[in-house]
Amino acid sequence: MPDRALEGLKVVEFGSFISAPFCGKLLADLGAEVIKIEPPKIGDEARRFGPFPGDVPNLEKSGFFIYLNGNKYGVTLDPSTATGFDIFTSLIADADVLVENQQPGVLKGLGLDYDTLSKLNPRLVMTSVTTFGRTGPYRNYKGYDLTAWQGSGVAHRYVGEPDREPLRGSWYHADHWSAVSAAAATMIALAARDLTGEGQLVDISETDILTTHIMGYQIVTLYHLTGEHGARTGANAPRTGAPVGMYACKDGYIFIMPLELHHWHGLVRAMGSPDWATDPIFDVPSHERVEYADEIDELMAPWFAERTKEEVFAALQAERVPCGPLYNAGDIVEHEHMIARGFLAEAEHPVLGPVRVPGKPYVLSETPWSLVRSAPTLGQHNQLIYGGRLGFSNVDLTDLRRTGII
Amino acid sequence: MTKFPLENLRVINFGWVWAAPVLGHTLGDMGAQVIKIETRKRPDVIRFLPPSIHEDYPLESLYAANTFRDLLGVTLDLTTDKGQELARDMVRSADVVIENFTPGTVKRYGLDYDAVKSLRPDVIMISLSAAGQDGPSAKIATYGNIISCLGGLDVHQGYIGDSRPTTYGTSIPDPMMGILGAFAVLSALRYRARTGKGQYIDLSQWEACATTLGGPIMDYVFNGRIQYPKGNRDDLMAPHGVYRCKGKDNWVTIAVKTEDEWRGLCDAMERPDLADDERFGDTYSRQTNHDEMDGIITRWTSTLTHRQVTRQLQRAGIAAFPALSAKEAFDDPHFNARGDWVEMDHPLGKEVIYGIPWKLSKTPGGIQRPATMMGQYNRFVYGEILGRTEAEIDAMEADKVLY
């Protein structure tokens, strides 16, 4: 087996659903040893989320759980018991990283907050993902993915129609993006530890992640310069360039963005250089063409409507016009490009047998992304970790099981 | 103890638009020296998308003002021999090289990984392309908004039952791709610290988007089912939505996970009878009767402001929060207390830009330089770092090598 980039890194994951588990997954997929702690009997929420084969709920058959938790070791533990607490701290004493996404107050209630854990292990990097972060007026507020989209200002400004309620964005994307941020920030904290010898608390707030990067990349500056900040505009108008947007094809939609002048020329050629399109009044930068946006849309519509989205995609890409069809999950995994690059990965699951899951976001030439093992069943590695690592005997383990501690 | 844990790192950023500058500044904010290569022959599109920070400087857009911070901008025409020679010199001193051109482009400049590696064997090079370096669609032309469409983000966003697809009013994937790239680079650096080996990272933004769609993809893999937008609703929680409040475009989010929380909401609405109403007796029933329940909740929320609903429900342990407007988010004490908005002295005037998105307790990093203007650091980079004389730099400017 090739080397793995994060070989030797010991991570404890104490979280549920997406943000902490996806962060743990990013680390595990590059070779970190991730021990995932789940509550006894019920496990991670993602186990109840599904989707399940044939829609039959089963804690061991949730596709989403299996996807998010590949490459990890799974143990069960109730740290609110005295023995459970001791086991938790034993795992932490030996860890480089703790990733958690408990609601505010939960860790403190368990006596497992950063101040306590850092005394036990000063080299620990503790990465905490919450909706509002560990400081500031809303630090004790409860929240979820929805709260982050809406609370960050992103939904109100950018998602949804102006006369309707603001919308959360795509599929738990605030959770996923925060997990990616947590993984990057964890690596920064580990780089810092290489210099200083000390661990630290990495405080990730989902609302911070969205608001800084999306509200911040332009309009926060505009607001402070001019007082303006714009409002959500819905699907198409008003626009900063034309033609830009989602166009209806025979069998679906394609999103086009000919922002540069040469893109516009390419689009005109792809459409067969119709007379209207070669009019010099349109031969101007995209943002000046906005004046004629509706007129252009109307003139372009028939050419798109007569073709499939793949035909339009191919014709426009042949002229180097930035565009792409509106794809769903099936379109993505069945796409020849995804198949050619081997997007889906497969591993043998203890209950379901071979299961295909979404695979690598990147290829690292020396230390490739790899799915070494499927997600653990509930408590699958109790024996391995508690017995093998912490030295509990089989009798101890039976007791722990009987008392509901594991 | 240093605030800047990456201060020993040098990064050469050939990348442009949004994701690559974010990858650069993510490292730069933490102390890395990040040199951004640009050319006036084809300025970074992000530089001239209006509005700009000053009307006399159309290449200093507000996008650049935010995402080009902590980058040392130099001009360099990579199509010239002399320009490529300078690029090779930079690469020799680099720990990390970033690029996001269409696959194949760097080879024309003599900057593909094999060439870069021959100049600096332990370099980490990352390409952030739309679709990866190989495969039938490798060379597609895109922007982030298009990746969002290809990668399945757009199709999972929208109102329930709307036939017309919607898109975001911005590019959602770009900054996440920059941060994901930073994670991959930092992981590769960790490997290099252990083994002395560099490597090449091929990040496909299309695939990276699709890795955030575990549920819909697994539903397709298991059941052949295609999922569509669920508005503001959720499979595990109900009620879960955005409710109209008193005032113009004033909305509050409410998400209820447990039966205790549901009872708490009923009490807050002064409708304890609903707690025993079988239409809403468990999450499943509440999901089935969500529209009806939403009507009841809206009758209550519409008499209050989003702040009033939030205070009342959070006190009862329920996840409620305003759908903040842009203005409210910028003025909000929480985001300001957490340093999300930072005032900087840009050469063209004072500005507010976004701060460091995450908070590290001991080595927080920080924004050291406002956005680089076009070619602002030519003298510093070519003179002090690469050792060219003033006369040589003048000549290269005159010959439009530095252009």
State the architecture of A10-213+341-402 in CATH terms: 3-Layer(aba) Sandwich (3.40)
Q: Determine whether the interchain pair B341/A195 forms a contact, defined as Cβ–Cβ distance below 8 Å.
A: no
pLDDT in tens, A283-334: 999 989 999 999 999 999 999 999 999 999 999 999 999 999 999 999 999 9
DSSP string, B186-246: HHHHHHHHHH---EEEEEEHHHHHHTT-HHHHHHHHHH-PPP---TT--SS-SSEEEEE-S
- pLDDT (0 to 100) of residue B20: 97
Rounded to an integer, what distance in angstroms lies between the CA atom of residue B310 and that of residue B295?
Answer: 18
CB contacts of A219 in chain B (<8 Å) are 62, 326
Are A150 and B306 contacting, i.e. CB atoms less than 8 angstroms apart?
no
CA-closest candidate to residue A238, choices B401, B222, B389, B169:
B169
Distance of CA B331 to the CA centre of its chain: 21
Residue A275 has pLDDT above 70, yes or no: yes
The residues that bridge with B128 in the sheet, in sequence order, are: B203
CA-closest candidate to residue B352, choices B334, B365, B335, B375:
B335
3-state helix, strand, coil in chain A (%, to 5): 45, 15, 40
The number of CA neighbours under 13 Å toward the Cβ of A148 is: 28
A396 touches chain B (CB under 8 A): no
Q: Determine whether the interchain pair A234/B340 forms a contact, defined as Cβ–Cβ distance below 8 Å.
A: no
Element (H, E) at B351: strand B349-354
Residue B361 has pLDDT above 90, yes or no: yes
How close is the nearest chain A Cα to the Cα of B390, in Å?
35
CA-closest candidate to residue A350, choices A369, A390, A388, A378:
A378
Residues 6+ apart with CB under 8 A from B295: none
Rounded to an integer, what distance in angstroms lies between the CA atom of residue B83 and that of residue A206?
Answer: 42
Burial pattern B39-52, b for ≥16 Cβ within 10 A else e, equals beeebbbbbbbebb
> What band does A236 get if pLDDT is binned at 50, 70 and 90?
low
Cis amide prior to B5 (ω within 30 degrees): no
pLDDT in tens, A182-230: 999 999 999 999 999 999 999 999 999 999 999 998 899 999 999 999 9
How close is the nearest chain B Cα to the Cα of A228, in Å?
9
Which residue type occupies A235? A
How close is the nearest chain B Cα to the Cα of A382, in Å?
26
CB contacts of A101 in chain B (<8 Å) are none
Report residue A171 as tokens.
């599929």
CB < 8 Å from B in window 77-106 of A: none
CA-closest candidate to residue A53, choices B225, B210, B121:
B225
CB contacts of A52 in chain B (<8 Å) are 222
| Phi-psi domain of A198 (left: phi exceeds 0; alpha: psi -120 through 50; beta: other) | beta
pLDDT in tens, B279-307: 999 999 999 999 999 999 999 999 999 99
CB contacts of A340 in chain B (<8 Å) are 134-136
Are A222 and A211 contacting, i.e. CB atoms less than 8 angstroms apart?
no
> What band does B190 get if pLDDT is binned at 50, 70 and 90?
very high
- pLDDT (0 to 100) of residue B51: 87
Q: Determine whether the interchain pair B136/A322 forms a contact, defined as Cβ–Cβ distance below 8 Å.
A: no
Rounded to an integer, what distance in angstroms lies between the CA atom of residue B173 and that of residue B151?
Answer: 9
CB < 8 Å from B in window 123-152 of A: 131-138, 140-144, 146-147, 150-152
Nearest to B211 among A131, A185, A361 (CB): A361
Element (H, E) at B254: strand B251-255
- pLDDT (0 to 100) of residue B165: 85
Q: Determine whether the interchain pair B330/A159 forms a contact, defined as Cβ–Cβ distance below 8 Å.
A: no
How close is the nearest chain A Cα to the Cα of B388, in Å?
32
Q: Determine whether the interchain pair B337/A135 forms a contact, defined as Cβ–Cβ distance below 8 Å.
A: yes
Rounded to an integer, what distance in angstroms lies between the CA atom of residue B253 and that of residue B318?
Answer: 10
Residue of A nearest to B206 (CA): A361
Report the interhelical angle of B173-195 vs B19-28 (nearest 10°): 50
Residue percentage of chain A with pLDDT more than 70: 99
Q: From the CB of residue A33, how many other CB atoms can be counted at a distance below 10 Å?
A: 18
Residue of A nearest to B318 (CA): A142
CB contacts of B61 in chain A (<8 Å) are 218
> What band does B126 get if pLDDT is binned at 50, 70 and 90?
very high
Residue percentage of chain A with pLDDT more than 90: 94
- pLDDT (0 to 100) of residue A287: 86
Q: Determine whether the interchain pair B217/A332 forms a contact, defined as Cβ–Cβ distance below 8 Å.
A: yes
How close is the nearest chain B Cα to the Cα of A288, in Å?
11
CB contacts of A207 in chain B (<8 Å) are 334-335
- pLDDT (0 to 100) of residue A234: 81
Element (H, E) at A132: none
Q: Determine whether the interchain pair A329/B157 forms a contact, defined as Cβ–Cβ distance below 8 Å.
A: no
B164 touches chain A (CB under 8 A): yes
CB contacts of B204 in chain A (<8 Å) are 341, 361-362
Average predicted confidence (pLDDT) for chain A? 96
Rounded to an integer, what distance in angstroms lies between the CA atom of residue A207 and that of residue A143?
Answer: 10
Q: Mean of the pLDDT values across residues B110-121? A: 98
**Of A160-164, B191-195, B250-254, B330-334, which gets the smallest average pLDDT?**
A160-164
> What band does A108 get if pLDDT is binned at 50, 70 and 90?
very high
How close is the nearest chain A Cα to the Cα of B142, in Å?
4
Burial class from Cβ neighbours inside 10 Å (0-12, 13-18, 19+) for residue A306 reads exposed
- pLDDT (0 to 100) of residue B164: 83
DSSP three-state, residue A216: helix
CB contacts of A48 in chain B (<8 Å) are 236
> What is the count of residue pairs from A and B with beta carbons less than 8 Å apart?
507
A362 touches chain B (CB under 8 A): yes
Residues of chain A with CATH 3.40.50.10540: 10-213+341-402
pLDDT in tens, B50-73: 889 998 999 999 999 999 999 999
> What band does A241 get if pLDDT is binned at 50, 70 and 90?
confident
CB contacts of A192 in chain B (<8 Å) are 2, 5, 360, 362-363
- pLDDT (0 to 100) of residue A118: 98
Residue A235 has pLDDT above 90, yes or no: no
CB contacts of B249 in chain A (<8 Å) are 156, 231
Q: Determine whether the interchain pair B253/A181 forms a contact, defined as Cβ–Cβ distance below 8 Å.
A: no
Rounded to an integer, what distance in angstroms lies between the CA atom of residue B319 and that of residue A103?
Answer: 10
Report residue A267 as tokens.
């689009």
Residue B378 has pLDDT above 70, yes or no: yes
Residue A237 has pLDDT above 80, yes or no: no
Are A304 and A249 contacting, i.e. CB atoms less than 8 angstroms apart?
yes
- A362-364 and B199-204 strand pairing: antiparallel
Rounded to an integer, what distance in angstroms lies between the CA atom of residue B89 and that of residue B396?
Answer: 15
Q: Determine whether the interchain pair B159/A340 forms a contact, defined as Cβ–Cβ distance below 8 Å.
A: no
Q: Determine whether the interchain pair A146/B2 forms a contact, defined as Cβ–Cβ distance below 8 Å.
A: no
Nearest to A322 among B146, B156, B182 (CB): B146
B155 touches chain A (CB under 8 A): yes
Residue B250 has pLDDT above 80, yes or no: yes
Residue B182 has pLDDT above 60, yes or no: yes
pLDDT in tens, A333-390: 999 999 999 999 999 999 999 999 999 999 999 999 999 999 999 999 999 999 999 9
Q: Determine whether the interchain pair A220/B165 forms a contact, defined as Cβ–Cβ distance below 8 Å.
A: no
Report residue B188 as tokens.
């590769």
pLDDT in tens, A12-52: 999 999 999 999 999 999 999 999 999 999 999 999 999 99
How close is the nearest chain B Cα to the Cα of A398, in Å?
32
- pLDDT (0 to 100) of residue B45: 84
Q: Determine whether the interchain pair B355/A212 forms a contact, defined as Cβ–Cβ distance below 8 Å.
A: yes
Q: What domains, with CATH codes, occur in chain B?
A: 10-211+336-398 (3.40.50.10540), 240-244+250-324 (3.30.1540.10)
Residue A233 has pLDDT above 90, yes or no: no
A239 touches chain B (CB under 8 A): no
Interface test with A, best of B217, B226, B343 (most A CBs within 10 A): B217
A158 touches chain B (CB under 8 A): yes
Nearest to B186 among A48, A191, A234 (CB): A191
- pLDDT (0 to 100) of residue A356: 98
- CATH fourth-level superfamily of A245-327: formyl-coa transferase, domain 3 (3.30.1540.10)
A53 touches chain B (CB under 8 A): yes
pLDDT in tens, B318-349: 999 999 999 999 999 999 999 999 999 999 99
- pLDDT (0 to 100) of residue B168: 85
- pLDDT (0 to 100) of residue A259: 87
A109 touches chain B (CB under 8 A): no
Average predicted confidence (pLDDT) for chain B? 96
B121 touches chain A (CB under 8 A): no
